């Protein structure tokens, strides 16, 4: 078992990583439940994991209720949030209770936001079952929903009380979902850890094929990096946490153009976005063209999109920049971009000319 602390003072919590921990979740949740019932909000596509979790709670003497949410990005909506809040209120959830989010990033974001606003703040626990959620969205307390204007524009910072990661849940995922999550693993190497990116180049295939040691190492390394960054800049006020958005400004624009309909998964958008960020950096003379090609080559080798054509995006540069203007990170009329001086040398640039970005995108193959 690996335990990684997230140091946030009175809001500190642990991330527990262990094969099979889902079946032993009651041992970890008992001190949090304190004799209270726990309500589990689960992705409707993971009934087997829900059954395992509830059995573990029962064995530990913890009563539970379950609410199932339809799978997919479409559930991060006002309508689903309202329905979930009504269900939680109907179950009599109290401020001192903890809600368990069981599923991928959509469930974690939705449940975390519901917990943040229900009775002005309830506790919650993250039990992520996808690689993307395990290495990224379950840690750090960013919660929210999507709106017509864009992705994650309504939400809050609300830290979980505990994160339980069982890598064996990945055995039930479609290969495409695992690949999409792997994009977020690669991201940590590209931000500030070139040795980890080199590890990904050597071991990424093994991870994607389900090698337990490679999988656990990648999760632990990714989570440790995120815990360190979140501990230093919880609410993204100093710019340090913004580094975690590498690939997301481009990627969210691609997702918006795709309509959030599942044709382009979040991790796929991030992969294409990281490749574009490096290609733009190379074009601007910030990093070597060889670095940008190395990033694109690894993403291609992992079966991930490395640009607009591979992501199925044909829109103009102006259209894609138009999506970027709805980005929640926009401030004072400017939009910060994560660019690179090399692999492991990502930095925040607030002076990027959006006209240049549009022209760059227009030059990309479609």
Active site positions, annotated = 120, 142, 184, 226, 236, 241, 245, 248, 252, 266
Q: Report the alpha-carbon angle 285-288-291, nearest 5.
A: 135
d(Cα 342, Cα 234) in Å, to the nearest integer? Answer: 26
d(Cα 106, Cα 131) in Å, to the nearest integer? Answer: 13
φ, ψ dihedrals at 63, nearest 5°: -75, 150
3-state helix, strand, coil in the chain (%, to 5): 55, 15, 30
CA-to-CA dists, residue 313 to 259, 270, 273, 317, angstroms = 11, 14, 12, 11
Q: How many residues are listed for the chain in this entry?
A: 366
Coil, strand or helix at 160 = coil
The owner of tokens 């539970």 is 64
d(Cα 264, Cα 247) in Å, to the nearest integer? Answer: 14
* Cβ-based neighbours of 268, under 8 Å, separated by 6 or more: 179, 180, 183, 304, 305, 311
* Cβ-based neighbours of 309, under 8 Å, separated by 6 or more: 364, 365, 366
The owner of tokens 């709106």 is 147
């Amino acid at each position: 078992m690996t335990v990684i602390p997230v140091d946030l003072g009175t809001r500190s919590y642990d991330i527990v990583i262990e094969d099979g921990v889902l079946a032993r979740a009651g041992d970890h949740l008992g001190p949090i439940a304190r004799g209270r019932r726990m309500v589990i909000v689960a992705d409707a596509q993971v009934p087997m994991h829900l059954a395992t979790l509830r059995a573990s709670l029962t064995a530990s003497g913890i009563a539970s209720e379950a609410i199932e949410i339809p799978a997919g990005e479409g559930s991060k909506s006002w309508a689903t949030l309202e329905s979930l809040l009504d269900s939680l209120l109907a179950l009599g959830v109290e401020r001192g209770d903890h809600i368990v989010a069981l599923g991928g990033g959509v469930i974690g974001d939705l449940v975390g936001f519901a917990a943040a606003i229900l009775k002005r703040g309830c506790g919650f626990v993250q039990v992520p079952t996808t690689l993307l959620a395990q290495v990224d969205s379950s840690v750090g307390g960013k919660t929210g929903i999507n709106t017509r204007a864009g992705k994650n524009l309504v939400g809050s910072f609300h830290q979980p009380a505990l994160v339980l990661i069982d890598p064996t849940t990945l055995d039930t995922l479609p290969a495409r979902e695992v690949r999409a999550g792997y994009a977020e693993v690669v991201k940590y190497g590209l931000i500030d850890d070139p040795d980890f990116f080199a590890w990904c180049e050597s071991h990424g295939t093994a991870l994607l094929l389900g090698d337990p040691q490679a999988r656990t190492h990648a999760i632990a390394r990714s989570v440790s990096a995120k815990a360190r960054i979140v501990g230093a800049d919880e609410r993204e006020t100093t710019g340090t946490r913004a580094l975690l958005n590498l690939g997301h400004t481009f990627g969210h624009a691609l997702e918006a153009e795709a309509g959030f309909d599942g044709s382009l998964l979040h991790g796929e958008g991030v992969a294409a976005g990281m490749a574009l960020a490096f290609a733009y950096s190379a074009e601007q003379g910030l990093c070597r063209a060889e670095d940008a090609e190395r990033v694109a080559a690894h993403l291609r080798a992992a079966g991930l999109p490395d640009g607009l054509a591979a992501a199925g995006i044909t829109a103009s540069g102006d259209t894609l920049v138009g999506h970027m203007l709805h980005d929640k990170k926009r401030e004072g009329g400017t939009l910060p971009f994560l660019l690179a001086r090399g692999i492991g040398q990502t930095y925040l640039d607030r002076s990027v000319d959006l006209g240049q970005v549009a022209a760059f995108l227009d030059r990309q193959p479609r």
